[in-house]
Structure 1
Amino acid sequence: MTKKVVLVTGGSGLVGSAIREVIAGERPENEEWIFASSKDADLCDPASTAAMFEKYKPTHVIHLAAQVGGLFANMKYKVEFWRNNIAMNDNIFQECHKRGVEKLVSCLSTCIFPDKTTFPIDETMIHDGPPHFSNEGYAYAKRMVDVQNRMYKAQHGCNFTAVIPTNIFGKHDNFHLDNSHVIPGLIHRGYLCKQKGEPFTIWGSGTPLRQFIYSNDLARLMIWTMREYQEADPIILSVGEEDEISIADVARSVAKALDFQGEVNFDTTKADGQFKKTANNAKLRKYLPDFKFTPFDEAMASTVKWFMENYETPGAVRK
């Protein structure tokens, strides 16, 4: 059997690190995995991207690298988010096509879906209306990946596709207090509240519902996508609607994992945001009806354990 050479861009981030951990446990004999970071290439530069492909000669690519940021950055730098992500994606697509890469899997986000839509959202609804104005640069650039996948397949027969995960959390996340997603932000704030003996206060009522996917579960599903999934059309990778969890229950899970014995309360003067953003995982379940997701509290305990073990390690946890 010919050996696969799998190149993972953005290989040092949350999802890349999870894929590395899963592959280390599998030890596949017919696959060589390369986890590239920004140190390996400037993916906005065609020559730098080409040099990385020439060096590693991948047969398969999982493309995780992207310019990402919080609300403020997305609103202030819309042009940069558009141009840099378009450039990265175009360079990756071109190299994969030119070099006959057998499979390219890109990673999208549920934020690319229309701002005004019905729920649950599914893979057919990506282009049904404009995304939220606050992140339109990033969202439109990512939507073009879906368009490119279909065009490259139609014209060149390329086996290129994309996955759309819901809210990801896990080890190696961005735990920055002011610029992180909800779970890593709650973990960091809960940890500091425990250290200081203060109440653990969560912004909002805690009633909004979200679907969270543990990074190691996403890694397993992305590896499956790379090996088995043959459609150009994207696939949502998520727990089901029945596994939606309230922010209040997320906070309680964080407190339990931290062994936080103090008061947990909710500041209802702060806005809640959208009540739910439900994604439909029926397509995934059609392919993998028996896939077992890690129980939420178990995944949370693993994440919190990693956070606490690495909190004082320089560069490991963004503070």
Structure 2
Amino acid sequence: MSIILVTGGTGLVGKAIQHVIETEPEGSRFGKKPGEKWIFVSSSEADLRDTEQTKRLFEKYKPTHVIHLAAIVGGLYINMKCKLTFLRDNILINDNVLHTAHLTGTQKVISCLSTCVFPDKVTYPLDETKIHLGLPHESNFGYSHAKRLVDVQNRAYKDQFGCNFTSAIPTSIFGPHDNFNLESAHVIPALIHKCYLAQNNGTPFIVGGSGKPLRQFIYSRDLAKLFIWQLREYDDVEPVILSVGEDQEVSVKELTDAIVKAMNYKGEYILDTTQADGQFRKPASNKKLLSLMGEFRFTPFDEALQDTVQWFLNNYENARTGARGT
């Protein structure tokens, strides 16, 4: 029996993995395999910043494998505001999960990083060899350093104890079950929620920044399949970028236009250039990923965005919008 524990299991990526495991054909490359038990846990079951609660969680489920998604996360503005919180809380979470996995003999751990771990001043496209070549962007250096340390920890655990710990580096993720709270959301859910409020309330739709920054977006359910592949088929401490190709960059302006279309918004929007843009671009290469796993069909961006918008509209009352303390 393989027992796969997914921390952060009720968040954006955790819900996507659960969806894929439950909907893909059983026994298929991304579907549930015979002898597998998947457990998706949230912070309500254990505060992973606390060592004892982390130990009790592992004692309860006795995982053989862990997909470690739990983190304190947020968009540009909350990152800029709470750099120490993002640094310290994530260091505590990651250290507790990795050390407890080592102490309990967990066979494999995959941790989720982010392309923000890469240096701000570096040649593009980003690839897995460039993580430690310079300082990350100032706007999110707390979160970035905490996530970058996971790669250091993975290598140290492998070197000293032979642990099979590795990590994934996704680009900007979006999809159903995202965080749409305007205080902490990433760019896509924030813009979807802002557009919704502007349309419903007849208020201005204001987009922060110039609209010029570029991002690679990956649909959460595509990313879920890549995590499942990495869990089953990849055993190396070196991280893997999980992303669409670097030729798939989308500007914030193009993104806003796509959201306006998907939501059938009839008004105009305002680009507020007094607000920060953050890092201008950080294109990442997925050549290593595709060389290892072969062909993979990514969901077309417009189709994935439409699915996300529809989920938000259908689930607004229960979505994480912050409006009702969720």
TM-score, with structure 1 as normaliser: 0.91
| C-alpha contact 2:178 2:320 (8 A) present in aligned 1 | no
> Pairwise mapping of residues 127-276 of structure 1 onto structure 2 (< 5 A)?
127-197=132-202, 200-264=205-269, 266-267=271-272, 272-276=277-281
CA distance in 2, matches of 1:140, 1:36: 25
Whichever residue aligns with residue 68 of structure 1, its letter is V
* Alignment partner, residue 122 of structure 1: 127
Farther-moved stretch of structure 1 (219-228 vs 150-159): 150-159
- Relative distance call for 1:39 and 1:198 in structure 2 (3 A) is closer
Shift of 1:168: 0.5
CA distance 1:209–1:170, shift in 2 (3 Å) = same
> Partner of 1:123: helix, strand, or coil?
coil
Give the corresponding residue for 1:5: 3
Deviation sequence 1:113-148 (CA, Å, 0-9, x none): 112222211111111112233433322221111011
Structure 2 portions without partners, runs of 5+: 27-31
CA distance in 2, matches of 1:9, 1:167: 19
Between stretches 30-39 and 66-75, larger displacement belongs to 66-75
The more displaced of 192-201 and 39-48 is 192-201
CA displacement 1:286-305 (0-9 Å, x = unmatched): 11331011011110111001
1:56 maps onto 2:54 in alignment: no
Letter in 2 for 1:154: D
Query: After the TM superposition, which segments of 4 or more aligned residues of structure 1 sit over 6 Å from their partners?
Result: none
Contact 2:243 2:286 in 1 (8 A): yes
Could you say what secondary structure the match of 2:129 adopts?
helix
Matched, 1:19 2:5: no
- Distance in 1 separating the partners of 2:84 and 2:174: 28
State how many pairs are aligned: 316
Give the Cα separation in 1 of the matches to 2:41 and 2:277.
37
Distance of aligned partners of 1:47 and 1:273 in 2 relative to their CA distance in 1, 3 Å threshold: closer
Match of residue 89 from structure 1? 94
Which secondary structure state, in structure 2, belongs to the residue aligned with residue 32 of structure 1? Answer: strand
Q: CA deviation at 1:32?
A: 0.7
Deviations 1:35-54 (A, max 9, x none): 11112212122221111111
- Tell me how far 1:208 sits from its aligned partner: 2.7
Cα distance in structure 1, aligned partners of 2:274 and 2:51: 49
Q: How many angstroms does 1:87 deviate by? A: 2.0
Are the structure 2 counterparts of residues 198 and 231 from structure 1 closer, same or farther at C-alpha, using a change threshold of 3 Å?
A: same
2:40 is the alignment partner of 1:40: no
Aligned 8 A contact 1:310 1:317 in 2: no
Measure, in 2, the Cα distance between the counterparts of 1:134 and 1:248: 20
Task: Check conservation: 1:193, 1:200, Cα contact below 8 A.
Answer: yes
Partner letter of residue 59 of structure 1? T
AA at the equivalent of 1:11: G
Separation in 1, partners of 2:84, 2:207: 33
SS of the aligned residue for 2:295 comes to coil
CA distance in 1, matches of 2:153, 2:320: 35
Q: Secondary structure at the match of 2:110?
A: strand
Computed over aligned residues only, the root mean square deviation of the Cα atoms, in angstroms, reads 2.1
In structure 2, the CA distance between the partners of 1:272 and 1:149, relative to structure 1 (3 Å rule), is: closer
Q: TM-score, normalised by structure 2?
A: 0.89
Whether the 8 Å contact between 1:172 and 1:317 is mirrored in structure 2 is: no
> Comparing 273-282 with 263-272, which one deviates more in the overlay?
263-272
2:113 is aligned, of 104, 108, 111, to: 108
Q: Is the 8 A contact 1:112 1:143 kept in 2?
A: yes
- Structure 1, 178-187 or 210-219: larger mean CA deviation: 178-187
CA distance in 1, matches of 2:138, 2:205: 33
Q: Distance in 2 between matches of 1:204 and 1:317?
A: 22
Q: What does residue 322 of structure 2 align with?
A: 318
CA–CA distance in structure 1, aligned partners of residues 93 and 274 of structure 2: 41
- CA offsets, 1:43-89, max 9 Å, x none? 12222111111110111000111122445554554444333222221
Q: 1:274: how far off?
A: 3.7
